[in-house]
Structure formats: C-alpha cells, structure tokens
Structure 1
C-alpha cells in the first residue's frame, strides 16, 4: 500500500500519522477539515481489493456497523467503498487499550473489573440488538479513556476477512486466547461467543493471567475447546465468590450453559454489585466435558515418555516393540488430526466461514404469566429455565414470570437456556406515623414511601385544625406499594351554636347565671354611672339578644354604677371649680359669697348638689371679715345694743345665682 501520510481522502480527511497496524488494515490519525475534528481512518490493505466476496461483505458490514450508536462503542462517521480505496472513518479515541492497562496494573481490583465489564456488556447488548456479533472481543480492541470510560472498537473487520490463499500465522490468529470453543472448532457463532470472550477478559482482569496460555496458538485453541480453567479464586483469593461464579458461567464450554444474552449477564453483575456476598450456585459447574487431548500435544513436543518396563523374552519384546511403534504412530496421527481440525476451525473463525448450524429441535414456549415453579417442572427436561432477575410488581403475584429471553416461539437447541424475570409480588411498605403532622408534611411522607393518599375532614377537639387526626390503615400496617392511605384532617372542635339571652335590666350576678345556662359565658364587665339605672344593673350587652353564636362565646356587659356624684371642688378657685363641674357633666348652680378666715378669697368654701343632680351650688370665700360697724354707745338701749351686735358678728353677704339670673 502506498504511503498515505499527507494525503487527503475525499477532499476532507487529511492523513497525519499511523496509529495502528493490523492483519487486515492500517489505522491512521487524520483531521476532518469539514467537521473540524480529529478522526481515525482505518484503510483496508490492497490485497483485499481484488476479492469480490470480501468487498461485498465489507459493504454489508460497513452499513451495519454504521447503524451502531452507543456511548461505549467507537462511533463510525463515514464509509468509503471506492474500487481503489476502501476505508472507514471512526471516532478518534485519545486513550490506551484495556490490554495496556492490564499489563500496567497486572491484577485489577474487582470493582475496576466490574466497572469495565458493565460498560462492555452495555455495548454488546446494543450491538446484539442490532444483529451484530463482534466475534473478536479482546482487551486489545477495548479503548479506555483517562476517566475510565470504555469504548469497544473493531466491529466486523476481522470476521469479514476472507482470502482463498493465506498462510495461518500466530499474528493472524492473535485472538486465540479469547475465542470461544465454537470459534476454535469452526462451529456456528452467535451472541454467546462474545459472552465467552468477555468472560476470558474478566478472568484476566481479576487474576492477571489468561485462563489458557501456551507458546503454540493451536495448543491454546485446543485448551479453549477441551480444558477447564483454574478457578479464579485459586489465583486471587480476594475475588468474591459471586463474581467468580459469573466469570465461570460466561466461560462455559457449551454455549447453552452460558448467559443467554449480555442483558442476562448484566443482570447478575448488577445483583452482585448490590450484594457482593451473593452466591448464585449455578448447578451445572460439573466436570462432564469430553476427553482432553492437550497432554498428547505436549508429548509430541518432547515430554519424557514413561519409564521402560523390564525386559521380556525376545519374541515378546519384538512383538511389544512393534505394538508400541504402531501405538506411537496412532497417537501421533490422532494428534495431527486434532491439530488439523483446530487449524481449520480457527481459519473459519478468522476468515469468516461458518457452517450452518443444525435445525433447532425445540421451540421456546410462552412462559410469561405462568408460575416459575410450574414452568421449571413442565419444561425442565427440554430447556434450562434460569431466573435471571426478580422484581416487585403490583399487578403480578409472587412467582409469576414477567418476561423471558429468548421470546416465545424462538427455535433453540434442546437444553438451551431461557432466562426469565420473576415477580416478587407487590412490594410491601409500612404505613408511616403521620398523626398530628400538618397535611402537607403528611402527604410528603406518604409519597416518599411509595403510597397514594385520599383526604377526609373531621372535627376533633384535641388536634389542631389542618393536622392529621388518624390514618386508615393505621400507622405500622404493612401494605402494597402504591396503596392508598386515607388521611383524616382536623377541622377543629365541633361548632355548636347557642341563643343569646336578653340580660339587660338584670343584676350582674343574674346575667352571669343566665348566660351560663344558655351555654355562653360572662365576658368583660364595664361600670358606667347612670341616674336612671340602679347600681349593679345591666345597662347593655355586646351580643344581640336572640341571635345564634358559637357555644362558650363570651358576652361583654355594661353595668350601672348608680347615680353619679359631683366632683369635689372645695378649695378650688371659682373658675377651676366651674370647669371641673362642666367636665363631669354638671352645671354651676347658685354661688354665695361669704367671709371666711381660713379659705382664701375666691376659693370654694362648700358645695351642694341640687335635687336635679345636674346643678351644684357653691359658697365662695370673700376672705376674712373687716369691722365696719362698732358700738356707738354703751348706754344704748338693749334693742339697740342687740342690733349692733348682730351687725358686727354677721358677715355681710351678697348672694349671686350663677346662670340663673338670680342675685
């Protein structure tokens, strides 16, 4: 093939450098000038361009591979089927192969191995659903990004290679360490072949060793067909038993005993991730495989023969030598026949020639809706009914089959595995205690526990309005997930209306008794003077008589304090006394002025409320009296003397009638 460096393919892919060389193609790093991105371009070698069958296969496979779109599969952007140059443009992955990572780490932690395996299984599941079998799953074809993301690469190219004359070399069959027994023997391959190869990869990641290895590729292929691997835990005791079981099931020699699909294996790995101490206890891990011939291969390579027996008589010895010679030739012949068979099988695998399988002899029945135990009993002699997963289902009783793989009416071989998902029945949950919680909080708890709810409103004297009084079913009851729980929400106490009695005119005590007899209670009492209502008698009430109000409502009353009395204004000036009287609802009555030696002039000496209880008469001081009249004669008549004394001892008084016009 001419030098591609510097060439531009299709006017857009500028070839920059070689990044990989395989038996069938060369991979280049290139720059896509139209989409402005770095890509990988896999160019098929020139010797395949003249093979029409290969070109037809390449065209068909290229279209199929271009259909794949999954985050764990290297994307295919473009395919060229030109007569002179055929290539595939793919996603450029800036990382290392999983093989390089295994070589660096030697033994991976089981968590790392599971992390990578899950991603590869998801990629295989997607490809298998599209009808594409990889057939060359190996860590060299798995790219790993810096963040641990896995990308499966090299779909289809290896199996499309088909040359009429090609020498079988170790380079050409470099995948022999990972191929399935049916690939090694040239039998028909399907999705379970990829499962086997992934099982070998998982074995290698967990133990740091390949399950089968030898300097001779043919010997490795024979081991793939005939030899059971050592249990991974013998090489690495830190491997959990459940993960060892998954690995060995994927590596079963008989395809029917492997996982039926990538999804089935993924289900067991997910179960293991949730419970690393799980045990699957697969029932068919027994040594019922055919006779092994690997020892014979090793003897051909020069292993020492058993020690010779003691010499016997010459005739017998000669006969024995002849017999031994014939026996040795027979063994050598058997070994060469086996090697030839393996080589033919590997050539079929590498070059994509697979014979048609025999007609299936069992049709898968419809198992969905049937009880698992019944199905195992009914079909267990023809098929292996394997419970691949269980899940809760609100509509299916426990033990009922929810789904199956393969589907009903599929043709399979006798004793093939049928994976089923079995119902655990409705999931049981406990009704939480939400009493006394606000409605919104109670609803949130029910929803979080997978329950529905309905609302009922009731009166309750002890639970606050808007809070939960009780639930039905009660707290602690086991119910099916999705069941409905009734929340009884408090409306507060029951409201009872009572008729308000008329207590106006009653004494305060009588009014209180009347209110209590009516289911009400006495509220605030305000005192108010009244000239018309006797003291202690109800003047008014704030709740109108004969109306309906809630039970135990307080009724406020105004009660008479009796006839009001005028304020004491003695000692005040006439002007202040007048003001105080007016401020208290009284008017100034008669005002009389009199001399007084103890009360200052102009101040009130005394007061008197008139009979109308509206006017107050005042006596106002004129100050001390002055002697303006004296005795004129000691000889005055008695009557005169008497008159004079009266005038000297009686204060001169002027009387005024305030606001009445009297003087």
Structure 2
C-alpha cells in the first residue's frame, strides 16, 4: 500500500500502527498540503460483511463528533475494494506506551489526563455514542500534552436495544471490561466510566487490577473479585483520588458515577483537595441501623392478621376496575401517537453522494435527489473545465440530516490573461513583463537587424490577444551581425559557488541572486535560472539565479482561548460553541465547551503566516495572526 494514492489525494507514506481490524498509515493530503492518518480495513476482511459494516459504523459514529479531545475525522472512502477513513494525524504516542516508559504516572498528571478523557466521553455520550472500548491503547498523547480518544471501532449510537450478546460478539480489551460487558448485558455511559476508572488505576499504579491466563478468567474476575485498593500499590495516591477510582469501578452500575460530567467535577476537586472526603459513595441497604418496634399482644395480632388476609383477597378488585379503563385509554393514545410520529416526524439520515468531478448542474440535481442542498462557497480557477466541482464538504459517504447543505468549490476554468505588447523592450524587461502577466517565456530566437542588440523585434502571439494563463510566448531578439553567441548551460541542482564558476568560465556574468525557501531543494542549491538551459546569448550577458534556503520552517502551534472572559450574561455552568476558522473561511476547529473549563487549548498546523478568526456562539470575537515559521506559541 505504501506510495498508493487514495481518493486522488491521500498518498500513503509510512505505516504507523495496526490493530485486529485495520492498518493505519501516515499520508500526505495533496489538496490541503498537510499530513493525515489513514485507517485502512485489512485486505483479508473486506469479504466479511460484518467487518465492513463495523468499519463503516466506526467512521460514521466518529465523524459526527467534534471535540478537542477526540481525533477528528476528515474523510471517508472506498476505492477498488479498499475501505478507508482519513483522520487527524497526531504526533505523539499511545497512553499505553507512555505508561510503560514512565512505569507509573504522577497522580496529578494522571488526574489531568483523566479529565481530558472524561471530557471526550461527556461529548460522545451527549451525542448518543458509547465508546465501549476505552483502554490506554485507544488514547493518544500528543507532543504538546493534549489527550485524544480514538478508535470508535465498536462504538455505536445508543438505542433501546444496546445489548451485547455474550461469547464471540464481546469485543474490546478484557482487562478494561465492565462487569456488564463481561456478562453480555446492557452497556451504557457508565460502562465507559468503569473502563476509564481501570485506566486511571493503571496510570497511578503501573498495572491493571486483574490479570489471568485467559480472557475468560480475567472477565470472571471483573464480575466476582474485589479490586485491590490502588493506595496499597502506591502510597502516594491521595485519599480523594482513591475514592474516585473505587467509585468509578463499582461492579454495580448504579453505584458508579452516573455521568462523565459528575466524574469531571470530582476529578477537578481532587486537584484542589487531595485529602478531602467529598466523594459520595452509595451505601448498601444491609447497613441500615437496627430499629426498635413496640410489642403487640396476641389478640391484636390475630385480629390484624384476619383483616390483612381479607384485604389481600379482595383489596385489589376496586383499584383494578378503576385502573383498567385508564390503562386501555393510555395504550390507545400511545399507539395512535407513535404511528403519527413515525409517519410524519421520524426522518432518517441520508448518505452524501460524490459530486466532485460533476458539473454544477448535474451535482445540484444529484444532491436534490438525495434531499440535500448544494451551497457554493467558492469559485476559483483550475485546470478543470468551468463549472466542474473541485471539492465537497461533507465528504462522500457521510450521513447527515435531510436538507442539510453540502458545501462545494466550483471551477472557473483555466485563468485567461491578455498578452502585453513587448516589442521594442529589452529582452529582460520583456521577459519580466510577460511573467508578470502570467505567461511563460519560451526559448528566444536571435536575428540580425538594424535595431539595438538585445531589443525585442517580434513576439509569437500578437499583443492584446486573450490566452490561457501560462501560455508560452517566444521572443525574437535583435543581435549584432557576426557575433558568436554562447549557449547557456543548466545550473539547477548545483551548489551556488559551482554554478558561479561555470557561468563565469564560459564568458557570462552572474546577475541577480534571489534566495528563498524551497520544499524540493536543500539549502544552498540552485532551483531556478534565467535564461533557461539551451538559450543562446551574447558574451557578457547576465544569468540570474534562485538559490534555496531549504524547506519553509513549520512549527505546530497551540492556541489558548480563555473562556472565563465570555461569562458575562451567561450561566457559569453553561456552555459555549467555540469555532476557529482561517481568514479564507476554512474551518479549523468547532466544539462545545463548558465555561467552567477555563482555558482551552487547540492545536494548529500550517505553513507561512496565516490569519485565524475565533468565534464564540457564532459571533467573531478575535482575529489573530500565526507565523508558523517561528517557534513561539499562537497568541
């Protein structure tokens, strides 16, 4: 697969990971000029409909999520039987590798990592998605310390039938299973929190709580055995953190944290009150205090017993006659209401078709057939014919709500330019004028004439003619009679000092030397020249050189946004929608954040100098300029 280009834009460069279902590659996106991660379904599994369906479900589930602690999904595709999804490329390592390197983590660092994982789960649960396979191997730690949850391979939307059959259908790593997963029972948000509790246990102790020779033996331990308190393995763990871990890994789901938000609050409080006793644990009903009852004489006891039997035999009759008609009426209303709702209000998601490569009219017609709306966000020149769709968002295969907008970029066709009149110009001035007009200058022709030497006497395309950009123009140049011309050699690819020696050695002069960044040529190497190799010029003519400074430096940046300054007029426990876009309108980040999070961090990647606009709840609040060629963080 290495070197293969998927979707006409994703070039697979190197293998960076693999799992039981897919192989992950680092790839170059040639359209947006950035690195991405491409997850490809294993070739031996493409014939298995169950695996293919699971792979598609992973991409659709993950693509609906947008959160700084969840790996972003950019694209989904299938090409000649190769199923793939395109994801954000994270420079870093898995949490499992990080734990192995350090043995165990400092408890404060572990809590901060757990808060980020919990924040990702809170967002997923809010959108109706249970991860079902939280483990350190599915958590990435980037070089800047940001935690990202990945691999929604067994995640799916929560429905009333969220039940996993026991046996071979139970998936995920058994060391992090919740007891209900091990039994094949109902799985919900509290199951993810159990697995997070086991991950937190491993971070602070360096080991998982249950080990065994087989997966079955480990699963049984999750169901039956009590976990050894983490404080016995690491005495440095504060009391409050041990309480959080033990509450998260309660075998009874009703005794665990009931939501990710509830667990986040306790984890944040651990950092402030490490020895506090604020974690509320559910008590067992058998621990109720002994109650004292008044004595009852035998005669009263017999009378009460007789009356109790009478009530038990006939006491149900009257309530039944009252309740039965009411139950029947409610059942009828429920049936009628559910039928009306299903027929008129339940709308299934639709799959976005591929419109890239179609002309504008056909693309709009195809989207309308799928109950979608086409929105042209940009028209630009390209090598494609006018009206052809160059780009679409969402990508092909993503499921969206009916009548959603599909943003497209439409080709304006090749750019047209007007040929300027350069007759009478000196050769160099004519070449500059043509290049500034967007035209290519071909090898010149030299003829003897009465015009001053080096003067343009003709041009191959007449002035004021409209032509396609980059059309080649050949100039006819006046030369002195009987002057022996010198053929220019090729200097591209040579070091600057060697090129100088060769130019001067054949009787030419080194003219202007321009030094600039170049992605293809190392520092100090000539990457462009003028005149071109093979051109014949008079002795003493200048040869201009362009010398590489090496690739443009590109340093990833971290953009920090302080949400506390946007609390005015809002509930402090509320949330805001944070959006970051490039000045050209390209979406960089979008997600919901609680105001209580304070300062949030967003990773930025790019090259050169880029302007970004920050939006809070759809309103622009700040514009910043980021220079990726410098090391300092974004403002």
Normalising by structure 2, we get a TM-score of 0.42
**Bigger radius of gyration among the two:** 1
Structure having the larger proportion of residues in strand: 2
Give the structure-1-normalised TM-score. 0.40
